[in-house]
Chains A and B, each alone.
Chain A
Amino acid sequence: QQQVKQSPQSLIVQKGGISIINCAYENTAFDYFPWYQQFPGKGPALLIAIRPDVSEKKEGRFTISFNKSAKQFSLHIMDSQPGDSATYFCAAGDSGGYQKVTFGTGTKLQVIP
């Protein structure tokens, strides 16, 4: 049972372009939605997170958009740079539980010069 669906599986974007990664969830108990960035051989690093009481959160070049009624959320990376090339995971957590997070399957982003 895949509780968090992520797309696309891979993405190639030109430098300076916008990278968009989409996720959808099923469990309405989820109320915490982080995004993680992972480089090869490293652990995931928390990038940005949102709670369902807001529809958008922006931190630098990274923006999360959240649609509670559709149970969807997305990550936008503005002005994408080659250094952004990594695998990105969306995740969802339930603050009423033990706050473990359920991860999506990941999107491998390549930003080409």
Chain B
Amino acid sequence: DTGVSQDPRHKITKRGQNVTFRCDPISEHNRLYWYRQTLGQGPEFLTYFQNEAQLEKSRLLSDRFSAERPKGSFSTLEIQRTEQGDSAMYLCASSLGGGRGRSYEQYFGPGTRLTVT
């Protein structure tokens, strides 16, 4: 399967702990996005990478959140000192980029469900 993959699929952690999620985009896609989705809502944009460069961050991304894409391939999203309000589904998406054809289409992974107790 060559779709977007995310790991882990589920994470339960205690308040105050740090967590890290991984996203592997579709191999030829140079754009990678992180979104957060809470119950009953649509996904909300968190941050965007083009290759290894992080080009945009949402105001939703507090200083407890950090994302990296060190070699322009997989990406990690770390949340430090987790709070109960961080409980959500964290979604990763990738797109081809390049401005031609269907380059804008974003393909989502299955998400990581975070529960903070």
Do A and B make up one complex? yes
Of the 9-residue stretches A12-20, A77-85, A99-107, which lies at the interface with chain B? A99-107
Task: Confirm or deny: B45 has a beta carbon within 8 angstroms of a beta carbon on chain A.
Answer: yes
What residues of A have a CB within 8 angstroms of the CB of B108 in the complex?
Answer: 36, 43-46
CA distance A55 to B54 in the complex (A): 35
A46, B111: Cβ atoms closer than 8 Å: no
A103, B106: Cβ atoms closer than 8 Å: no
What residues of B have a CB within 8 angstroms of the CB of A44 in the complex?
Answer: 43, 91, 108
CB distance from A16 to the nearest CB of B (A): 28
What residues of A have a CB within 8 angstroms of the CB of B110 in the complex?
Answer: 41-43
B105, A49: Cβ atoms closer than 8 Å: yes
CA distance A101 to B4 in the complex (A): 17
With A32-B104, A44-B108: A103-B91 Cβ-Cβ less than 8 Å: no
What residues of A have a CB within 8 angstroms of the CB of B50 in the complex?
Answer: 98
CA distance A34 to B93 in the complex (A): 14
CB distance from A39 to the nearest CB of B (A): 10
A99, B31: Cβ atoms closer than 8 Å: yes
Contact with A along B94-107 (1 / 0, CB 8 A): 01010100001111
Task: Confirm or deny: B21 has a beta carbon within 8 angstroms of a beta carbon on chain A.
Answer: no
Task: Confirm or deny: A89 has a beta carbon within 8 angstroms of a beta carbon on chain B.
Answer: yes
Task: Confirm or deny: A67 has a beta carbon within 8 angstroms of a beta carbon on chain B.
Answer: no
Contact with B along A68-87 (1 / 0, CB 8 A): 00000000000000000000
Interface, chain B (partner A; CB < 8 A): 4, 6, 31, 33, 40-45, 48, 50, 55-56, 91, 93, 95, 97, 99, 104-111, 113
